[in-house]
Amino acid sequence: MRNLSWCTVSLTAVAVTSVLLGYLLGGSQDPTARDPDIDLTTVELIAKYGYPAESHTVVSEDGYILTLHRIPFGKKSPGETNRQPVFIQNGLGFSSVEWVIMGPEKGLGYILADAGYDVWLGNSRGNVWSKKHVTLHPSSAEFWDFSWHEMGIYDLPAITDYILRRTGQEKLSYIGYSMGATMFFVMTSQKPEYNKNINVMIALTPGMYMKYCTSPILKVFGIAGKELEWLSNLFGIYQILPHSSLFTFIARHFCSDGAVTQPICIDIWKLIFAYNHKESNTSALPLIMSHGPAGASIKSFQHFGQNINSGEFMKYDYGEEKNLIMYGSRIPPKYDVSKITVPVAIMYAQNDIITDPRDVAKTKEALPNVIAFLKVKDEEFTHVDFIWAMNVKSLVYEDILRLLRKY
């Protein structure tokens, strides 16, 4: 059981049902319909589209081996030198591939590289590209004993130091999507000396305050977090949403155009993320689902669930007894966000069921140096539309480019 996750176990049953349903109703079985990008890694995707691709390894202070993917320059600006490094950190359950999966016209990684930036793509610990440790095995409970707190105090400082050392620059620009923003707020509040290393932080739908979150998955962890923690320890299951060939199989055969089961995939998508009829690319579902989810620790979900319950941005709650040992108080302390002096630009969406606009507004009020607060003009824009929307370049990425040029 230790190599499984709740999601893998449950999806096995779903897959069997889907296979039977698909064959009975006529799922898409045409092998020529398979998108070749489904089988490519992040580096292979970047190279396929004619961009230089690199893979780098960073070891955190607590021993996690993290993979960074890099696009050092673009096809439209190959001769430029002294490029400003831009680092993009993925959200919970995602990976670096999200920023290149939609191709050069819509992938933020390519767009930034073509605009003259040195682009670095992060992979949070525990995902498919950062699932190693110098001593711990990913089948052990010890390996998965982390949330986005550890990612903020250990991973981001190590990554920042590495990028600046490698590029010879004094500062980098940071783009954090969802949990990627959460990690940044942890780093710069807990280790404020890193504020001086950042030009600007662009927070895409940031996960700081989450009182009004209505995402079913995260709400479950908010309602039954301690019970789920007990079950996790009982059955030795510590990860959730691991990268799996099962998703690829289901996505290819039952979520593609022409499959009568595609509406089921869309309904599941609506339940998890909400849905934008104007911007959602249903034809891309097989590609998206084949590369994700990428894996995460259950403790990361629990930490978000805890903040949903409290309505605060707080450290992990270990229970009163252990909290006294860890923090010297019965309840976990709040992060001191007044120490975050980096200029922060916030972008958010009206139809976001994970980071509700009311919570994002509270984030704006809490941070001392917000230099832009931008709502996406499309009222149906959702949490994942920041990555996959049909018109994401005009709705989001052009604003990112303007902010980066200014700072």
- How many domains, the chain? 1
Supply the CATH number for residue 183's domain.
Answer: 3.40.50.1820
In a domain, 23, yes or no: no
Please give the chain's pLDDT, 407 residues, in tens.
344 444 444 444 444 444 434 433 344 444 445 678 888 999 999 999 999 999 999 999 999 999 999 999 999 877 677 899 999 999 999 999 999 999 999 999 999 999 999 999 999 999 999 999 999 999 999 999 999 999 999 999 999 999 999 999 999 999 999 999 999 999 999 999 999 999 999 999 999 999 999 998 888 888 877 788 788 888 888 888 777 777 778 777 788 888 888 888 888 777 778 878 788 777 787 888 787 788 899 999 999 999 999 999 999 999 999 999 999 999 999 999 999 999 999 999 999 999 999 999 999 999 999 999 999 999 999 999 999 999 999 999 999 999 999 99
In a domain, 60, yes or no: yes
In a domain, 335, yes or no: yes
What is the set of active-site residues?
A: 178, 383
In a domain, 26, yes or no: no
3-state secondary structure the chain: CCCCCHHHHHHHHHHHHHHHHHHHHCCCCCHHHCCHHHHCCHHHHHHHCCCCCEEEEEECCCCEEEEEEEECCCCCCCCCCCCCEEEEECCCCCCHHHHCCCCCCCCHHHHHHHCCCEEEECCCCCCCCCCEECCCCCCCCCCCCCCHHHHHHHHHHHHHHHHHHHHCCCCEEEEEECHHHHHHHHHHHHCHHHHHHEEEEEEECCCCCCCCCCCHHHHHHHHHHHHHHHHHHHHCCCEECCCCHHHHHHHHHHCCCCCCCHHHHHHHHHHHHCCCCCCCCHHHHHHHHHHCCCCEEHHHHHHHHHHHHHCCCECCCCCHHHHHHHHCCCCCCECCHHHCCCCEEEEECCCCCCCCHHHHHHHHHHCCCEEEEEECCCCCCCCCHHHHCCCHHHHHHHHHHHHHHHC
Q: What's the domain range around 159? A: 6-17+31-406
In a domain, 288, yes or no: yes
In a domain, 1, yes or no: no
